[in-house]
Amino acid sequence: MPLQKMLYREAYRMLCDRFEAEDAVQNLYLKMWGHKEQLDNLLAPEAYCLRLLKNICIDRWRAIRLHQEDNVPVDDIIEGGASPDIEHCEAKEFLEHFLAGLPGQHRRVMMMQMQGCSFDEIADVTGLSAVNVRVIISRIRKKFRESYYK
């Protein structure tokens, strides 16, 4: 388990939740155990672990979103108010693609905001100032609106 601390930090960075990060790392170890015969043949085991962990975190994030679908303020981001189901699904897919294209720090700030974290909480975790967090979120929302309504 020489990579455990690094893997946990990466999972926490992606999921922003201690328990989810611990579960993701545990799931990674279970997957690795299932493929223990092939591990000796890996040229870059650290990169392999990080790729598997990233996929696990994405799956966990999607599962969390499905269970908390109503808690994700997509309508707040696009500022379009209530929308029919089809438009709502399209907006979510567009949002997911949009978030994937953001730089790491901006994506992390936006995901934490979408999970209901306050500006001060985001600032504490990221090391940014609360004012900087507000500016980043404001710019991301503006960019999203411009992209979405093209």
- The per-residue pLDDT for range 89-132, each reduced to its tens digit, is 666 777 788 888 888 889 888 888 888 888 888 888 888 999 99
CA distances from 38 to 22, 31, 47, 64, 116 (A): 24, 12, 15, 31, 41
Looking at domain 72-148, which CATH architecture does it have? Orthogonal Bundle (1.10)
Tell me how far apart the alpha carbons of residues 142 and 134 are, in angstroms, rounded to a whole number: 12
Name the pLDDT band for 26 (thresholds 50, 70, 90). very high
pLDDT of residue 134: 92
Q: What is the DSSP letter of 79?
A: T
| pLDDT tens-digit series, residues 49-92 | 888 898 888 888 777 665 554 444 444 444 434 444 444 566 67
Q: What are the start and end residues of each CATH 1.10.1740 domain in the chain? A: 4-67
Cβ count within 10 A of residue 67: 9
Length of the chain in terms of residues written: 150
CA distances from 63 to 67, 71, 82, 90, 101 (A): 6, 13, 23, 18, 21
Tell me how far apart the alpha carbons of residues 10 and 53 are, in angstroms, rounded to a whole number: 8
Could you tell me which CATH number the domain at 4-67 has? 1.10.1740
Q: Which runs of consecutive H residues, i.e. helices, occur in the chain?
A: 4-15, 18-34, 45-67, 74-78, 85-100, 104-114, 119-126, 130-148
Q: What are the start and end residues of each CATH 1.10.10 domain in the chain? A: 72-148
Q: What is the pTM of this model?
A: 0.46
